[in-house]
Chain A
Amino acid sequence: MAPETIEPTAPPLRAPSPAPTDRPLHTLPSPFTASNLEVLTQGAEALVYKSTFLTPQTPCVVKYRPPKPYRHPVLDRRLTKARLLAEARVLVRCKRDGVDVPGVLGADWEAGWLVLEWVEGRTVRAVLDGWAERGAQEEEGVLGLMGRVGRAVGRLHGIGVVHGDLTTSNLMVRQDERREEGVKQTNELEGDIVLIDFGLASHSTQNLQDEDRAVDLYVLERAFAATHPKAEPLFQEVLNAYGESFKGARAVLKRLEDVRLRGRKRSMLG
């Protein structure tokens, strides 16, 4: 082992100046115009707008996947097309098989947009945050919510679909639109669970099923642990309901134990 020169003491490095913060507004391809669009969220993948469909009274969601300038253009086109098509196909399959998801109203996979039905309600994440702010009371209500989350995920898995990005931001609690005005708002923990954002979903083959389903649950479990430390103990209720929801759910829960173990080991190599 020949000795090498040792690096000299270095003064602290200047931080690279942060990039400018004025972000260019993404413009949607035609037929969309800025006038009838309202930005809802900027997800990691897509910009989500509220717009109207056919009549001015029918709200809808426009999900636009802008080109990602950091990606190689060949890779970018391949991913955008594959993901948009996969998302539309999975949504159609869910709708057909009775899983509560927004329906597909239109799509253009070359231009990168997808138009979906509007879902009235809040995300499970927002609902749980509100619940935690109120002091994490209402145990019955939140347990009921957990149960419905578990059954919704179970129904999805039961038809052979895995979500691929199952976080609390991608689960919505539907609020009853027919609720009369002036009536005291019903408990926000009530309402059907609607699954959204199927951007990474797949309809996987039988032999991969259990693994993929278990990873779905694992992702959800970690989303709970990371953003809702107070709700984490309640996650067992999600799993209980899930276990009852379809044939084969037990096997998935067993597999989840493997995924957890592996998860604890895998990042600690080297």
Chain B
Amino acid sequence: MIALGLEGSANKIGIGIISHTPSKPPVILANLRHTYNSPPGEGFLPKDTALHHRAWVVRLIKQAIRQAKITISDLDCICYTKGPGMGAPLQSVALAARTCALLWDKPLVGVNHCVGHIEMGRSITGAENPVVLYVSGGNTQVIAYSANRYRIFGETLDIAIGNCIDRFARTLMIPNDPFPGYNVEQLAKKGKNFIELPYAVKGMDASFSGILAAADVLAKGLDESLPDEKRLKTEEGELITKEDLCFSLQETIYAMLVEITERAMAHVGSKQVLVVGGVGSNERLQQMMGIMARDRGGSVFATDERFCIDNGIMIAHAGLLEYQTGVTTKLEDSTCTQRFRTDEVYVGWRE
């Protein structure tokens, strides 16, 4: 069975085509993505992002079909992101999905974005029943599977971790291309001095807004136009750099993520951990998670940016899994929603 997947919940539009054959690993026939980047110091606005998606969706679908070397009649269903995400971009992609479904007379499947990430991660890495850490620009959740639901054990109490990193990147005027987190990571690799920031973990939940506020205050002390005595220094009198702040921010917030993940692993008694979502492609986070998992006698599974970062293939994959259990979305129900919890989805395709 072959499915077309359309993803556009944030600033990336992704089109993917996947093929499932019983008792064989899924085959990726096409996986295309285009990213809308805003200038340094700014975030992406819903209306501009929706415009971008509308401008690219037809081109990308055509190219994906060509690349997959299939014809329209080979497609079994069309999967699209129902939510969660930004309203305007979601709507523009849902509209494209509906149009294709009517044009080609194919069933639609609305997919939860978070479930898409989890299923893709499981399929790519072969992790069977891991504790899932889903970390991206809009989401921060620790999830474990139980009784046909992906249950949320821990989550952010305010902003998402990726949002915290992106906004800090804006404060320091770090470019958004290819993505802010990547540029922060590269700077952090050169950081030496660890500057203390707040550390906010509550049970299996975490909070990032206070850390962002504290980091933003510290960033003001980096300004080169300030008189020397007002600039931020270490105890030894060494000037603190942008790199040091990126390093300290990463060390602090990733330690929090590893801690809440470890707590969830201890709680459910799991030894596997799967990291998905855009922030999951951060090598330092993967490394820290690996050390934690090793000390618990377990292992960590992660993917690179092709599958970590939003893509169409994960929507096609999760949608096709659902389609195979006989679930489709009627045209009149093919809405999208900004709020769509991971645990609202009935996972009929797992034991």
Q: Which residues of A contact B (CB under 8 A)?
A: 1, 4, 6-7, 9-13, 15-16, 18-24, 41-45, 68-72, 74-75, 78-79, 164-167, 169, 200, 215, 219, 222-223, 225-227, 229, 263-270
Contact = CB atoms under 8 A, between A and B. Distances in A.
Nearest to B340: A268
B349 interface: no
Contacts of B31: 7, 9-10
Interface size for chain B: under 10, 10 to 19, 20 to 34, or 35 or more residues? Answer: 35 or more
B190 interface: no
Contacts of A43: 263, 266
Interface stretch (B100-108, B179-187, B224-232, B287-295): B287-295
The 9 A-B residue pairs whose C-beta atoms are closest, nearest first, are A270-B138, A18-B299, A268-B339, A44-B263, A70-B288, A70-B291, A15-B125, A23-B297, A19-B294
B296 to A, nearest CB: 7
Contacts of B252: 75
Contacts of B201: 200
B84 A72 contact: no
B34 A4 contact: yes
A223 B205 CA distance: 12
Nearest to A6: B32
Given A6-B33, A19-B293, A72 B251 contact: yes
A23 B124 contact: no
Contacts of A229: 146-147
A23 B33 contact: no
Interface of B: 9-10, 25, 28-36, 52, 55, 60, 63, 67, 83-86, 124-127, 136-141, 144, 146-147, 151-153, 155-160, 163, 194, 196, 199, 201-205, 251-252, 255, 258-259, 262-263, 265-268, 286-304, 306-307, 338-341
B24 to A, nearest CB: 12
B56 to A, nearest CB: 9
Contact of B255 (A6, A13, A16, A71): A71
Nearest to B36: A1
A200 B265 CA distance: 17
A27 to B, nearest CB: 13
A9 B60 CA distance: 12
A15 B124 contact: yes
A68 B28 CA distance: 39
B294 A266 contact: no
Contact of B301 (A16, A75, A166, A266): A16
B341 A267 contact: yes
Contacts of B194: 72, 74-75
A195 to B, nearest CB: 14
A13 B291 contact: no
Given A44-B266, A75-B255, A166-B203, A266 B30 contact: no
A12 B28 contact: yes
A160 B151 CA distance: 31
Contacts of A16: 125, 286, 300-302
Contact of B299 (A21, A219, A265): A21
Contacts of B141: 267
